[in-house]
Chains A and B, each alone.
Chain A
C-alpha cells in the first residue's frame, strides 16, 4: 500500500529525511516511534504530499505521490489530482485541527459533500453513523470548543473516515490528551485496525503498538534505525539508540 525507497526531504539546508525505506502492506498497521525532531511527522506529511520529497520514490497503492512518471521523466501532478489522491488518505493530527466554526456533524459531512459530491442529506446520514461509531452519537450538533480532547480526536477520526480512505495516517493522536482520555481514542483506533484498515501511526503508546502493530519502526535523526515486529523492536531492540529511547519512554 505504501512504498518508500530512499525518500529524502530537505528544508533549506536541513536534511530531515535521509533516505527512508519502508513498506506497509494492505491491512497492516505500522507504528512509528522516535525522539522529537527525528522526522516522523515530516514522513507522514510526505505520504499525502503536504510536503514534497527531494529524492527517492514514494508511492501509495502503486501510484507515485505527487508525480506521474512517463518516458523516464517525472511530471508534477496538478493540484486537482493531488487533492483527489489526498482524499483517499485519511490524516489525524496531534492537535485535532477540527474546523471550529462547524458542528461535529458538519466537520464530518463537509469533505464528502465538497469533494465526493455526495448529497447533503446522504453525507449527514453517513456522518451520523460515523459519529455513532466513535461513540459520539449524542454530540452531533456540538461545536468543537465544547468537546473534550478525547471527543475532539474521535470527531477528527470520524471526519477522516467519512472519505472512506484506503490508508489512515495518525500523527501522535493521543499526545495532546489528558491521560484518562487516551484510552477512548486508542479504542477507536484498535477497532479500525481490527476492521482491516491500513494505518501508519506515530505514537509513543507502547502498549498499543505491541498489541495492534504488525510492524514497529524506530526513527532517529532522519533515518530508520530499526524495524521489525513490535515484539522484537520494542521488547528486544538490537540498537543502542532504540534501547536508550525506549528506556526514556517507559
Chain B
C-alpha cells in the first residue's frame, strides 16, 4: 500500500475505516416476509388440534417406535457397509485391464441401477419361491461349502439387507469410480516409481485421496438409504421405523401423530449423519487446504492424534 501520495487526504488515514454501510432495504423486507411465513406455519401447526401433539410426545419413546428406530439404524448401517464394499470392488473392476471383469462390473451396475429398488426388494422377498435351497461351493459338481434352505438363510431381514445393499453397491460403484479418477495420474506414477505394488498404491495413495471426492456423495447416499429402508414394507416382516409406525396407526386409525413422530426420528438420525460426515470429511481433508481454518483443523487433529509437532510452521 502506498501512502506517500495521499498526504493531502489528512491525518485520518492511519485510523481504521468506519464507513456507513450501503443500505439494503430489500434484505430486511425479505427477512420479515420469511419470518412471518415461518411463524404462521408454526402457529397453525401448534394450534391445529388435528396434529395431536400430546400423542406425539407419547409415541416418541414408545417401545415399538424405538424398536423400529434400532432396526432402521441396523438396516442403514449394514446395507451401506455392503454397498460401500461392493462399490469399491465394482469400481476397481471397472478399471481392470481384464475385459471380462470390466464387463461384469458394467452389467451389474446397469442392472441394479436400471430397476427400481422396490422391485428388487420384492424380488428378494420371493427368493425362497424361486430357489428352494441355496448351496455355496465350487460350481458344476465341485465340493459344497454351505447348504441351506432359502427360507432359513434369507430371512426377511436378510432379504431387506440384500436388496438394499446390492442396489446401493451399484450407486456406490459410480461414486467410488468418480473418486478414483479424480486422483492425478502422477500420484500413481510416483508410487510405482518408489516400488509400491499396485495394491499398495491403491490403498495408501489413491484411495485416501479419492476419499475427499467420495465422502460427500456417500453421505448423501447414507441419508438416502436411511429413508429408503422404509421401502422394505415390500418384503414384509421387517419392522423398521416406518413399518412400526404404520402398524400403530393401522390399529388406531389416527396416522397424523405417528407420522410426525416418525419424521422427528428420521430427522434426528439424519442430524447424527451430518455430524459424522463433518468429522470424516475433516479427517480426509488433511493436506488439501491452505486456508487458515484448514490449517487450524489439521493442527487440532494432529494434536488430538498425539502428533507432537502439530501441522508445523507454515
The residues of A with any CB-CB pair to B shorter than 8 Å are 48, 50, 79-80, 83-91, 93, 95, 97-103, 110-111, 114-115, 138-146, 156, 159-160, 163
Nearest B residue to A144 via CB reads: B287
Q: Report chain B residues within 8 Å CB of A115.
A: 194-196, 200
**28 pairs of residues in contact across A and B, judged by CB atoms under 8 Å:** A48-B193, A83-B192, A83-B195, A86-B193, A88-B195, A91-B190, A91-B193, A93-B189, A98-B190, A99-B187, A99-B209, A100-B288, A101-B286, A101-B288, A102-B287, A103-B287, A103-B312, A110-B204, A111-B196, A114-B200, A115-B194, A138-B312, A139-B313, A140-B309, A140-B312, A141-B312, A156-B190, A160-B193
Q: Report chain B residues within 8 Å CB of A91.
A: 190, 193
Judge if B290 is at the interface, Cβ distance under 8 Å. Answer: yes
Nearest B residue to A169 via CB reads: B193
Nearest B residue to A112 via CB reads: B194
For residue A63, give the distance in angstroms from its CB to the closest CB of chain B: 15
- Residue from the list B290, B307, B309 in contact with A145, Cβ < 8 A: B290
For residue A168, give the distance in angstroms from its CB to the closest CB of chain B: 11
Judge if B197 is at the interface, Cβ distance under 8 Å. Answer: yes
State in angstroms the CA–CA spacing of A173 and B40 once bound together.
66
Q: B313–A160 contact, CB under 8 A?
A: no
Q: For chains A and B in complex, what number of residue pairs have CB atoms within 8 angstroms?
A: 99
Q: Report chain A residues within 8 Å CB of B314.
A: 142, 146
> How does the 8 Å CB contact mask read for B192-215 relative to A, with 1 for contact and 0 for none?
111111101000110011000000
For residue B310, give the distance in angstroms from its CB to the closest CB of chain A: 7
State in angstroms the CA–CA spacing of A62 and B192 once bound together.
21
For residue A166, give the distance in angstroms from its CB to the closest CB of chain B: 13
Q: A141–B194 contact, CB under 8 A?
A: no
Q: B194–A50 contact, CB under 8 A?
A: no
Judge if B94 is at the interface, Cβ distance under 8 Å. Answer: no
Nearest B residue to A145 via CB reads: B290
State in angstroms the CA–CA spacing of A70 and B198 once bound together.
27
With A86-B192, A91-B193, A114-B204 as given contacts, are A100 and B287 in contact (CB-CB < 8 Å)? yes
Judge if B289 is at the interface, Cβ distance under 8 Å. Answer: yes
Nearest A residue to B286 via CB reads: A101
Q: Report chain A residues within 8 Å CB of B209.
A: 99-101
The residues of B with any CB-CB pair to A shorter than 8 Å are 184, 186-187, 189-198, 200, 204-205, 208-209, 284, 286-290, 295, 298, 302, 307, 309-314
- Residue from the list A83, A99, A138, A141 in contact with B310, Cβ < 8 A: A141
- Residue from the list A80, A100, A138 in contact with B197, Cβ < 8 A: A80
Q: Report chain A residues within 8 Å CB of B302.
A: 141
For residue B213, give the distance in angstroms from its CB to the closest CB of chain A: 12
State in angstroms the CA–CA spacing of A143 and B302 once bound together.
12
Q: Report chain B residues within 8 Å CB of A80.
A: 197
State in angstroms the CA–CA spacing of A98 and B314 once bound together.
17
Q: Report chain B residues within 8 Å CB of A83.
A: 192, 195-197
With A141-B302, A146-B314 as given contacts, are A111 and B287 in contact (CB-CB < 8 Å)? no
Q: Report chain B residues within 8 Å CB of A48.
A: 193
Q: Report chain A residues within 8 Å CB of B186.
A: 93, 95, 97
Nearest B residue to A156 via CB reads: B190
B190, B194, B287 interface centre (most CB from chain A within 10 Å): B194
Q: B287–A87 contact, CB under 8 A?
A: no
Nearest B residue to A45 via CB reads: B189
State in angstroms the CA–CA spacing of A139 and B200 once bound together.
26
Q: What are the 4 A-B residue pairs with the smallest beta carbon separation, nearest first?
A: A87-B195, A97-B190, A143-B287, A111-B194
Q: Report chain B residues within 8 Å CB of A146.
A: 290, 295, 311-312, 314
For residue A151, give the distance in angstroms from its CB to the closest CB of chain B: 11
State in angstroms the CA–CA spacing of A115 and B298 once bound together.
28
For residue B299, give the distance in angstroms from its CB to the closest CB of chain A: 10
Nearest A residue to B299 via CB reads: A141
For residue A116, give the distance in angstroms from its CB to the closest CB of chain B: 8
With A99-B205, A141-B302 as given contacts, are A163 and B190 in contact (CB-CB < 8 Å)? no
Q: Report chain B residues within 8 Å CB of A138.
A: 312-313
Nearest B residue to A95 via CB reads: B186
Q: A87–B311 contact, CB under 8 A?
A: no
Nearest B residue to A90 via CB reads: B193
Q: A139–B312 contact, CB under 8 A?
A: yes
Q: Report chain B residues within 8 Å CB of A140.
A: 309, 312
State in angstroms the CA–CA spacing of A146 and B287 once bound together.
8
State in angstroms the CA–CA spacing of A142 and B236 once bound together.
55
State in angstroms the CA–CA spacing of A139 and B295 once bound together.
14
Q: B197–A86 contact, CB under 8 A?
A: no
Q: B193–A101 contact, CB under 8 A?
A: no
